[in-house]
């Protein structure tokens, strides 16, 4: 790969690169040194001076989370909430809707398993109707099929941007356009997208977006974010409130705050919040378009090399493909391959039907090896990966 990406800086700042070939970035990335150091320093300060006192002394650092998120997503700081993970952020948005019997929710066959569980809970609890929009011939959501399902009963369009079990990047902006034209709220789960691809919520057309810190943002575990469009905030009452999200003004009256803070908790992982702000600033220092280009180029090279190995089938589908590369092999199961690669210092994960059940069932898949690359990975690591895989098979 010949470009001007500063791979030397990326590798130098990633201390774990000396120990492991980490192709599990869609699970949890290796933190860069500035992020890990910020996290450790905040925790050390808590140890030495107290948790409340540390928060009081580091308000600027904590507020940087909102500024950095706003810069990353091209939104306002008042539209951003800190939440402990992407699933809980998604839950805070989804469960804020007050559905009535007969209301419809549209999603895709590539939807994340936890989201599908939540949809079905509301099917049983509220009597909503859940519709899975078919994929097109390329494996991405069929925009024409989506349009055909729009009617007066559709109250929400909700979609996973980049599925957990494949390289697909769904056409979120096209879905957003359909939603906006129909006046239907659009909830985008970009858990695998934030930090991997360039995101602009105004161009995506989403009213709500969730993301996590531990994956492509390279932040700490236990951190996440929720964006809610200003015009949507006061239409949504979160499923639970506390003294941070609302103010008690009398024994029987409270007032919910008018910014995205209504989706937060008073008690937070403050060290993680501060470090996540550093992680977003770090990503922006490279530039999201440059990161996306490098990630996609590395992944494309890996797919090409995998197809040349006897018995290996790459299972990724989509017109646009990102940094997640999934495959199967005739010789070994996905879990066996993961274990064998680990013995050679290579980290991958296994995606099975629980995360992508609807799509996997339709495609006849049970489990696949998931190798997810990031910008600090290298062509030589891709070569080592494929050479090692060839040997163990």
Residue 141 per-residue DSSP state: B
Per-residue model confidence as pLDDT tens digits over 281-321: 999 999 999 999 999 999 999 999 999 999 999 999 999 99
| Interval 143-164 mean pLDDT | 97
The CA angle 206-247-253, to the nearest 5 degrees, is 110
Predicted pLDDT at 377 = 98
Residue 379, pLDDT > 90, answer: yes
CA–CA separation, 194 vs 172, rounded Å?
A: 13
Length of the chain equals 393
CA-based nearest residue to 216, from 267, 286, 264: 286
63: burial class by Cβ within 10 Å (0-12, 13-18, 19+)? middle
Residue 269, pLDDT > 70, answer: yes
Predicted pLDDT at 354 = 82
**Domain 7-31+287-392: which topology?**
3.90.1150
| Domain spans, the chain | 7-31+287-392, 36-285
pTM flag (> 0.85)? yes
CA–CA separation, 389 vs 337, rounded Å?
A: 8
| Interval 2-12 mean pLDDT | 89
Predicted pLDDT at 54 = 97
Residue 1, pLDDT > 70, answer: no
Predicted pLDDT at 353 = 77
Residue 4, pLDDT > 50, answer: yes
Residue 270, pLDDT > 80, answer: yes
H helix or E strand, kind and range, residue 156 = strand 154-160
pLDDT above 70: percentage of residues in the chain? 99
Predicted pLDDT at 59 = 97
Residue 2, pLDDT > 90, answer: no
Q: Answer positive or negative: Cα dihedral of 276, 277, 280, 281.
A: negative
Report the chain's C-alpha Rg in angstroms: 21
**Position 276 confidence tier, pLDDT thresholds 50, 70, 90:** very high
CB contact set of 175 (below 8 Å; sequence gap of 6+): 141, 143, 146, 157, 159, 186, 205
Residue 191, pLDDT > 70, answer: yes
Per-residue model confidence as pLDDT tens digits over 227-268: 999 999 999 999 999 999 999 999 999 999 999 999 999 999
Q: Classify domain 36-285 at the CATH class level.
A: alpha beta
CA–CA separation, 137 vs 141, rounded Å?
A: 9
pLDDT above 90: percentage of residues in the chain? 98
Q: Answer positive or negative: Cα dihedral of 229, 296, 290, 341.
A: positive
Predicted pLDDT at 114 = 96
CA-based nearest residue to 225, from 279, 168, 176: 279
């Amino acid at each position: 790969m010949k470009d001007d990406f500063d791979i030397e800086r990326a590798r130098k700042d990633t201390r774990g690169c000396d120990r492991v070939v980490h192709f599990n970035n869609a699970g949890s990335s290796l933190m860069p040194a500035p992020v890990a150091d910020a996290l450790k320093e905040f925790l050390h300060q808590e140890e030495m001076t107290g948790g409340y006192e540390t928060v009081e002394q580091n308000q600027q650092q904590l507020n940087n989370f909102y500024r950095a998120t706003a810069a990353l997503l091209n939104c306002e700081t008042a539209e951003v909430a800190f939440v402990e993970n992407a699933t809980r952020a998604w839950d805070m948005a989804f469960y804020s809707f007050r559905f009535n019997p007969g209301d419809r929710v549209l999603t895709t066959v590539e939807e994340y398993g936890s989201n599908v569980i939540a949809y079905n809970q509301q099917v049983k609890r509220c009597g909503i109707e859940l519709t899975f929009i078919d994929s097109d011939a390329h494996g991405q959501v069929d925009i024409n099929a989506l349009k055909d399902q729009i009617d007066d009963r559709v109250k929400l369009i909700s979609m996973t941007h980049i599925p957990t079990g494949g390289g697909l990047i769904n056409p979120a902006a096209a879905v957003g356009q359909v939603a906006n034209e129909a006046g239907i709220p659009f909830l985008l789960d970009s858990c695998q997208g934030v930090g991997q691809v360039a995101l602009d919520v105004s161009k995506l057309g989403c009213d709500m977006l969730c993301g996590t810190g531990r994956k492509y943002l390279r932040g700490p575990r236990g951190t996440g974010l929720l964006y809610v469009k200003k015009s949507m905030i006061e239409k949504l009452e979160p499923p639970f409130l506390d003294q941070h999200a609302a103010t008690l003004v009398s024994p029987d009256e409270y007032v919910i705050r008018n910014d995205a803070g209504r989706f937060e908790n008073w008690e937070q992982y403050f060290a993680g919040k501060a470090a996540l702000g550093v992680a977003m600033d770090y990503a922006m220092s490279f530039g999201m378009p440059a990161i996306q280009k490098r990630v996609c180029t590395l992944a494309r090279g890996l797919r090409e090399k995998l197809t040349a190995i006897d018995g290996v089938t790459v299972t990724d589908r989509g017109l646009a493909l990102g940094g997640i590369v999934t495959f199967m092999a005739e010789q070994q199961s996905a879990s066996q391959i993961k274990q064998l690669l680990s013995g050679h210092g290579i980290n991958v994960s296994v995606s099975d039907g629980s995360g992508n059940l609807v799509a996997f069932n339709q495609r006849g898949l049970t489990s696949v090896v998931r190798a997810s690359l990031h910008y600090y990975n290298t062509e030589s690591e891709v070569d080592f990966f494929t050479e090692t895989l060839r040997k163990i098979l």
